A = this chain, B = another copy of it.
Amino acid sequence: MAEKSGIVFIGSKPPMNYVLAIITSLSASNAKDITLKARGRAITTAVDVAEITRNRFIKDLKVSNISIGTEEMPAREGENRSRMVSTMEIKLTKE
């Protein structure tokens, strides 16, 4: 759950962990926006986190941008090909 200048990296923890990180980050810094970044299976979690945060906790938070992409990951041990993995960024902005 690394946090840096309004970015929350979504991994394999339960969604509520990241929701809390977003709420904390937004209230601590007076920042107006925050970006969720996720790769592979965590993409679903990122969408869940964005939806839970804006439906249940910060009602004036809007999805201002979503982008998708592809990243090349180094080959795992015992494999000889690098793998392509999908990525997603969701930017949330406070009105």
Contact A55 B70 (CB under 8 A): yes
Please tell me how many copies of the chain the complex holds: 2
- The tally of residues in A whose CB lies under 8 Å from a CB in B reads 19
A 4-23 to B, binary, CB cutoff 8 A, 1 in contact else 0:
00000000000000000000
A15 to chain B, nearest CB (A): 10
**In the bound complex, what is the Cα–Cα distance between A40 and B48 (angstroms)?**
8
**Complex Cα–Cα for A23 and B87 (A):** 22
Q: Which residues 4-63 in A have Cβ within 8 Å of B in the complex?
A: 40-41, 43-44, 47-48, 50-51, 55, 63
* A48 to chain B: closest residue by CB: B86
Q: Is A44 in contact with B90, judged by CB distance below 8 angstroms?
A: no
Q: What is the minimal beta-carbon distance from A29 to any residue of chain B, in angstroms?
A: 24
Which single member of B50, B55, B88 contacts A47 (CB below 8 Å)?
B88
Q: Which residue of B lies closest to A87 (CB)?
A: B47
